[in-house]
Amino acid sequence: MSDAPIGIFDSGVGGLTVERAIRRRLPAESTVYLGDTARVPYGPKSPETVRRYAREAAAFLLSCDVKLIVIACNTATARAADDVAARVATPVVGVIEPGSREAVRRSRTGRIGVIGTRGTIESGCYERLIKELRPEAMVVATPCPLFVSLVEEGWLDGEVPRLTARRYLEPLLQRDIDTLVLGCTHYPLLEPMLSDVARGVELIDSAEATAAAVEGRLGELGLRSTTDAPTSRYYVTDDTERFRQVAELFLGGRVGSLERVSLSSSA
Ligand code: DGL
């Protein structure tokens, strides 16, 4: 079982930031990545719909005999991680708890901003967890829905991304945040531009923190891989070539084994 792959899913390509962090930190682990590209974005969808999608994604990963499921999508973690974890025997790791812990650890003043999709922000998940971990924290959260489209277009910097970032971040900066959680898989790609717009604010990318959480969980369960020939497989629910193009932007490298699959209602 310990040489079985880690299953990772996201609504699309964004979760590759998490997949890459896992592969870097745990080079002996095999991975199976599922991007539900036929149904992206999850951000504006209702909680029930996201829960259904997440259940189907988890079922697909289980059919690949994974030893652990990583929900690399913030929206799916916010809306569906508890539901998925209650239904499957395989351990489940989401991105919100590791990101929240990291924010609490790194913030000096306890004034923490959170940005994400509408679904993630409406769920109040980050605020709840951060407050649980640090009750005196001041948390200010705002959705930044246009960021996902900018990243998908490859507009990572320039006049339009900067103007958009200034409009979204102004209310948070006015509240003197010292830490900003990038609570969406796509936002780490905007990090160089965001760190300039939010100068002096510590940016938290939950990908690294999630990879550390995966390492910890596998260690606790005695499931660390011992193979010296790990594999990485990729599945999508829509066109593979579009995924390949955007994935190369995310990963900065080639995507190897890539196949299109149907989840029950994505066909
Ligand atoms: N993966 C989503 C997230 O991290 C962003 C894209 C979407 O809306 O599906 O929330």
Judge if the beta carbon of residue 246 lies within 6 A of ligand 1.
Answer: no
> Ligand 1, atom 1: nearest CA belongs to which residue?
73
Convert the pLDDT of each residue in 180-194 to its tens digit.
999 999 999 999 999
Atom of ligand 1 nearest to the CA of 15: 1
Convert the pLDDT of each residue in 192-239 to its tens digit.
999 999 999 999 998 999 999 999 999 999 999 988 899 999 999 999
Give catalytic residue positions: 73, 184
Confidence class of residue 1 from pLDDT cuts 50, 70 and 90?
A: confident
Mind spelling out the 3-state secondary structure of 78-99?
A: HHHHHHHHHHCCCCEECCHHHH
Judge if the beta carbon of residue 183 lies within 6 A of ligand 1.
Answer: no
Give the E-state strand segments of 121-229 in sequence order: 138-143, 179-183, 202-205
Convert the pLDDT of each residue in 173-183 to its tens digit.
999 999 999 99
Judge if the beta carbon of residue 43 lies within 6 A of ligand 1.
Answer: yes
Rounded CA gap, 118 and 250, in Å? 22
Rounded CA gap, 218 and 214, in Å? 6
Q: Is the pTM of this model over 0.85?
A: yes
Best mutation site among 8, 17, 36, 75 for ligand 1 pocket (most ligand atoms within 8 Å of CB): 75
Buried b (16+ CB within 10 A) or exposed e, 82-105: ebbbeeeebbbbbbbbbbbbbbbe
What count of Cα atoms within 13 Å lies in the side-chain half-sphere of residue 38? 16
Judge if the beta carbon of residue 187 lies within 6 A of ligand 1.
Answer: no
Question: If you measure from the C-alpha of residue 86 to the centroid of ligand 1, how many angstroms do you get, rounded to a whole number?
Answer: 22
Going along the chain from its start, the domains and CATH numbers come out as 6-94+209-260 (3.40.50.1860), 97-206 (3.40.50.1860)
Type of residue found at 220: E
Eight-state DSSP code of residue 195: H
Give the E-state strand segments of the chain in sequence order: 6-10, 31-35, 68-71, 92-93, 111-116, 138-143, 179-183, 202-205, 232-236, 257-260
Output the pLDDT for position 100. Answer: 98
Q: Please check the confidence at residue 122 and state whether its pLDDT lies above 90.
A: yes
Question: If you measure from the C-alpha of residue 226 to the centroid of ligand 1, how many angstroms do you get, rounded to a whole number?
Answer: 32
Beta carbons of 119 and 43 less than 8 angstroms apart? yes
Give backbone dihedrals phi and psi of 137, rounded to 5 degrees, phi first.
-65, 150
Output the pLDDT for position 171. Answer: 97
> Ligand 1, atom 2: nearest CA belongs to which residue?
73
Judge if the beta carbon of residue 225 lies within 6 A of ligand 1.
Answer: no
Question: If you measure from the C-alpha of residue 111 to the centroid of ligand 1, how many angstroms do you get, rounded to a whole number?
Answer: 25
Convert the pLDDT of each residue in 69-107 to its tens digit.
999 999 999 999 999 999 999 999 999 999 999 999 999
Output the pLDDT for position 253. Answer: 77
Q: Please check the confidence at residue 266 and state whether its pLDDT lies above 60.
A: no
Question: If you measure from the C-alpha of residue 228 to the centroid of ligand 1, how many angstroms do you get, rounded to a whole number?
Answer: 33
Strand order across the beta sheet in which 31-35 lies:
92-93, 68-71, 6-10, 31-35, 232-236, 257-260
Structure tokens at 146: 């246009």
Judge if the beta carbon of residue 41 lies within 6 A of ligand 1.
Answer: yes
What is the crossing angle of helices 96-106 and 125-133, to 10°?
A: 50
Cβ-based burial of 78 (10 A; exposed 0-12, middle 13-18, buried ≥19)? buried
Q: Please check the confidence at residue 36 and state whether its pLDDT lies above 90.
A: yes
